[in-house]
Amino acid sequence: MSGPQTLAARYAAIVCDLDGVVYRGPTAVPHAIEALTSSNLPVIYATNNASRTPEDVAAHLRDLGLDCEPGDVATSSQAGARLVADNVPPSSRVLAVGGPGVSAALVQVGLVPVVPADGLGHDVVAALQGYGAGVTASDLAEVAYAVQAGATWVATNTDATLPTDRGVAPGNGSLIGAVQRAVGHAPDMVAGKPSAPLYLMCADRLAIPAERVLAVGDRLDTDIEGAVAAGMDSLLVLTGVDDLAACLEAPPHRRPTWVAPDLRALNVDPDAEGDWLHALSRAVVAVHRARDAGSPASDIAALSESAESVLAAVRFR
């Protein structure tokens, strides 16, 4: 008989979100670095945050103690640039709005980034819009002008918020919403989570089928929904945006395969009787099944309370 098998050992690779999972701002999330290092799996760090280049992200992760190179980082800017390149001629001029990662990703795929300061938004064939702390109302106006002039509009992601070490800040989705109100329609394409392209780009880079990859994240409406769309199993860690109550209320397309307080779950055997991951997973599944079956609200409330009690016991340890 084979011995205990950790959650990580069930998969061939991990695609791991960053904000709220590995770090909050400049600080590592407790237990994240040790758990990822101990997993002994290839990891690609996939982030919807398009503001930084993979080189900058990799340097940050190395500072936190992870063995990480730029090729181990996948950003929604890179996935967005691939979408643009698939839909416009080579060497096309593309409006780049967001942090440095947006322009760098366009260059990588053979396109010519045009920044808003050039005032030439209407001369571009596409606009790639991502998050950047320095994005201004004038930048958003350039995107609107370009889209109204016929440019293909690609959003790196539509996260409404962004967790930081100081609290929750407006994310790229909030900026996308401002342009959408001006132009009267949503982006033509979205690269990042919850859309599938970012996750599928990671699977391609790993040369591993999506169903053999575990996606890890803290948001149901991006990380987990994106994993479902890409055909990946997922682990929701409760160290960022969404809590257990949100998970228990999630519709099927936003339900994780596994739920855990933090990344230490990667090195736990989910099938071990009496193990906290086993107990928590069973409790969450029980609530979801009751909701799907149309059970009375009192039954669902009792099952939800049981799941919260399991989580409280885990955190008490």
* Sheet strands (E) in the chain: 13-16, 23-24, 27-28, 43-47, 73-75, 93-97, 112-114, 126-129, 152-155, 161-164, 167-170, 189-190, 213-217, 233-237, 258-260
Exposure string over 107-131, b if 16+ CB within 10 A, otherwise e: eebebebbbbeeeebeebbbbbbbb
Which listed residue (17, 223, 233, 242) is catalytic? Answer: 17
Instruction: Fill in the DSSP letter of residue 212.
Output: G
Which listed residue (19, 159, 221, 242) is catalytic? Answer: 19
Task: Say whether 275 is catalytic.
Answer: no
CB atoms within 10 A of CB 106: 26
Identify the CA nearest to 115 among candidates 144, 143, 137.
143
* Sheet strands (E) in 42-92: 43-47, 73-75
For residue 193, what are its two tokens?
């989570």
Task: Say whether 269 is catalytic.
Answer: no
Instruction: Fill in the DSSP letter of residue 52.
Output: S
Give how far the C-alpha of residue 28 lies from the chain's centroid of Cα atoms, to the nearest Å: 17
* Spatial separation of the C-alpha atoms in residues 105 and 49, rounded to whole Å: 13
Residue 78 CB-half CA count within 13 A: 20
CB contact set of 68 (below 8 Å; sequence gap of 6+): 45, 58, 61, 62
For residue 151, what are its two tokens?
């440019």
Active site positions, annotated: 17, 19
